[in-house]
Structure 1
């Protein structure tokens, strides 16, 4: 089993793995951004905005992180660690011949346009490609209308893999998504997983 670092720090950001102590912070983050995220997120489960549901998801996230099945990092400014401003999630980690994960991310409405997600993703991707986790490929899917998210992926070197029609059911309809991938540049082509 491969273990990622549970805390990553950049020039402005602190990225932390899930912890039970984050319950109030996570709930606050989701509540303040509920309307902002609505056009891009699938429907939330019934308990999404309840303390008990948040606590359960944090516990599951911590277990998945420890077992190497998924890695969620919660973002805060290093200067204000008590307030969460974003999330980066590597889900559905596949080993064997695939060595792949799916990437999702979100950033507080008030933190947009400052390069914070770019900084956070650089840190998190470096960890996923490090010898501690050693993935070969990261895949992300974005609605074509989400221009800021598309720009972030392109700045990070993700290559378009094409359009996936009716990819996810979001905001009452099946939405097309452009699929992107980033390959680990340190993984030689002839190296077996």
Structure 2
């Protein structure tokens, strides 16, 4: 698998998740249950007990198999959440999808947009991927601001797309391809060069 050493910008950094992160991540998830529940993926087959150690083992196995890259997001050295690059498809697609969660106490500090930018740049320029997608529920205003801030292009509506918080939920799909950001997502954003309407959702 390609290099995935820590990447940072300002006080925000992302790094590969480690087995010893399990307790910290479990605590953050439990502390943020009310905050995160509306956006958490669930199973249509019913609940299963959540084991962070097992989850990390599975994520790292997917990483070794080339199917994903599981990151921890940090703010000033503290664990602030997780960002997973998943569904990596090679060959004629060279694409992947990003999903993430951030603790409420770190909301509004730029953790998510910086982490998404860092992860996307790493996937484009270190791993050689061509397309990155993010799918967001219409009700998730904070995440919609992230993709619009970074200039992810709106690509369409996916009806009842992912099982979240106990039911199949609609999502908006956003994406970037490497040609959109020849200097990188982070550089384009921090230099104020994001097209103002890039992530606009058509009305009607």
TM-score, normalising length: structure 1: 0.85
Unpaired stretches in structure 2, ≥5 consecutive residues? 183-204
Give, in whole Å, the separation in 1 of the partners of 2:135 and 2:103.
19
| Moved >6 Å (runs of 4+) | none
Alignment of 1:1-193 (within 5 A): 2-43=1-42, 46-48=48-50, 53-78=51-76, 81=77, 83-130=78-125, 132-185=126-179
Deviation at 1:72, TM superposition (A): 1.2
User: Is contact 1:33-1:108 (8 Å) kept?
Assistant: yes
CA RMSD of aligned residues (A): 1.9
Q: CA contact under 8 A between 2:155 and 2:175: conserved in structure 1?
A: yes
- Cα distance in 1, alignment partners of residues 120 and 144 from structure 2: 16
Residues 25 and 81 of structure 2 are in contact (CA less than 8 Å); yes or no, is this contact kept in structure 1? no
Offset from partner CA, 1:138-167 (integer Å, 9 cap, x none): 111101111110110011111111111111
TM-score for the superposition, normalised by structure 2:
0.81
Unaligned runs of 5+ in 1: 189-193
- Inter-partner Cα distance in structure 1 for 2:33 and 2:109: 20
Residues 3 and 67 in structure 1, CA contact (< 8 A), matched pair in contact too:
no
